[in-house]
């Protein structure tokens, strides 16, 4: 019996198949259904929107005879004017030279009785006075009044040092060529305008911005070239006359352009730093110069020549001037004249609408030497400001030239060192067209000033304008 019990414990009897299936069902989990739907969020009803409540579009069977046909033939018949092909040759910086005529001043000396108890005059002056009476000294004096600069042709000049400097090794006869045009001493204001300003004005009327700057030593005729006199008008009055004339000719029924004028000066008062003043305003309000824009600058719309000339005359009365040994009415500030053309419609000739353009004319104060001007105190501080502005202006042009020669070196931006160059940044970086006119004095006593200006400005002729501003043409549909 014990043996039978052990066998039943070690080897339990096999159960039948039905019993085994029941045991599997009791221990196995219930089978999963073939499809399961899980709804995490309850159904939501969409809100009514303007698109759902809008009326249904009419069916295609509705009457469409009242709908006009698309004017495709009219659109295709419009002729779009083709812009002039861009020249592959870059445009060079145009530099003009104007020679101021000599003025021979004869001094009439009268003998005065010397009172008693007065120290005698300098014997050296007496000897000079005696020598001036001799004919030989008169010849020498006549030679000293000769011109140091001579015109070779309309594009070059020869600079000859005076006899006192010919012994020096550094002083020798030099030839400067490559100018866009050289205006002799007997040229008129109309000649200067026709050669220099007329091309800029034509581009300005087409929607291209441009700038013209006058450079030169003090008393060389910069302000006379820019503004002139009522009997002999300069660049600015002649430009305004042509602007109003061309505007009336292009749109006789009504002007499609509106012109605006703004004038301001940059001045350093008593060494307190550069400041900009509005010459069309009260003249005392200081302006804020931010890059190439000026906050607070008054822009006056101009409609006729008489009103515009009156505004310019009032502005020139507010400009800072002073008397020095080299110039009786020396400009002590940098004067900037802006003429903006706003296009209000489509031109009848080209059927296009051009973008706004700006014509800027700059009258820089003349560079001064202390020995020539005799400035002291406040005038000496003004001279330092004027010379510094001229120096920075030249540094910007030289940096542009060096960058165009070797673009790997990088572009040195000197325009931050002066308010004038900061305002003219786009021109000094070669992005917009500009032209320069150099004014020089022909006397032998002005040789050093003339030589320095020509030596500094002659390399500027190699500056190129690759990325110039183009006209913005827009097609207008009626």
Q: Which residues participate in the annotated binding site for ATP? A: 216-223
Burial class (CB in 10 A: 0-12, 13-18, 19+), 260: middle
| Cβ contact 474:72 at 8 Å | no
CA–CA distance, 397 with 92 (Å, rounded to integer): 13
Beta bridge partners of 158: 150, 175
Instruction: Report residue 431: phi and psi, to 5°.
Output: -85, -25
Residues at the binding site are: 216-223
| Cβ contact 397:428 at 8 Å | yes
Which among 423, 435, 433, 436 has a CA at the least distance from the CA of 470?
433
CA–CA distance, 103 with 441 (Å, rounded to integer): 10
| Cβ contact 439:221 at 8 Å | yes
Nearest 5°: the CA angle 363, 368, 374 is 135
CA–CA distance, 353 with 306 (Å, rounded to integer): 28
CA–CA distance, 359 with 449 (Å, rounded to integer): 29
């Amino acid at each position: 019996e014990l043996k039978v019990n052990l066998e039943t414990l070690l080897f339990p009897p096999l159960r039948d198949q039905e019993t085994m299936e029941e045991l599997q069902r009791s221990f196995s989990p219930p089978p999963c259904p073939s499809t399961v739907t899980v709804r995490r969020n309850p159904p939501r009803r969409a809100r009514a929107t303007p698109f759902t409540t809008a009326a249904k579009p009419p069916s295609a069977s509705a009457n469409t005879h009242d709908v006009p046909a698309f004017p495709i033939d009219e659109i295709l018949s419009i002729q779009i004017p083709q812009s002039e092909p861009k020249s592959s040759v870059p445009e060079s910086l145009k530099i003009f030279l104007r020679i101021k005529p000599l003025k021979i001043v004869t001094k009439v000396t009268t003998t005065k009785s010397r009172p008693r108890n007065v120290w005698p005059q300098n014997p050296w002056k007496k000897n000079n006075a005696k020598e001036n009476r001799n004919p030989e000294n008169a010849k020498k004096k006549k030679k000293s009044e000769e011109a140091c600069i001579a015109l070779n042709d309309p594009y070059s000049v020869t600079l000859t040092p005076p006899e006192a400097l010919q012994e020096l090794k550094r002083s020798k006869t030099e030839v400067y060529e490559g100018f866009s045009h050289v205006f002799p001493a007997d040229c008129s204001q109309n000649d200067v305008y026709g050669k220099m300003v007329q091309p800029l004005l034509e581009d300005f009327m087409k929607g291209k911005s441009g700038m013209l700057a006058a450079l030169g030593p003090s008393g060389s005729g910069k302000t006379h070239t820019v503004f002139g006199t009522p009997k002999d008008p300069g660049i600015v009055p002649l430009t305004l006359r042509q602007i109003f004339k061309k505007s009336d000719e292009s749109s006789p029924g009504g002007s499609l352009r509106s012109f605006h004028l703004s004038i301001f000066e940059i001045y350093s008062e008593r060494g307190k730093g550069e400041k900009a003043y509005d010459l069309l305003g009260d003249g005392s309000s200081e302006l804020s110069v931010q890059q190439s824009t000026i906050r607070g600058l008054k822009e006056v719309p101009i409609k006729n020549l008489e009103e515009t000339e009156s505004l310019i005359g009032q502005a020139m009365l507010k400009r800072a001037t002073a008397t020095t040994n080299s110039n009786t009415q020396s400009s002590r500030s940098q004067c900037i004249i802006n003429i903006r053309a706003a296009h209000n419609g489509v031109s009848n000739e080209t059927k296009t609408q051009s973008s706004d353009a700006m014509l800027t004319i700059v009258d820089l104060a003349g560079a001064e030497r202390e020995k020539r001007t005799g400035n002291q105190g406040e005038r000496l501080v003004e001279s330092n400001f004027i010379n510094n502005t001229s120096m920075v202006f030249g540094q910007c042009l030289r940096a542009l030239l060096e960058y165009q020669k070797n673009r790997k070196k990088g572009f040195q931006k000197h325009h931050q060192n002066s308010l004038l160059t900061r305002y003219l940044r786009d021109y000094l970086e070669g992005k917009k067209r500009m032209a320069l006119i150099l004014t020089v004095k022909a006397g032998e006593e002005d040789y050093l000033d003339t030589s320095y200006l020509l030596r500094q400005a002659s390399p500027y002729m190699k500056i190129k304008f690759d990325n110039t501003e183009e006209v913005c043409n827009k097609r207008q549909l009626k």
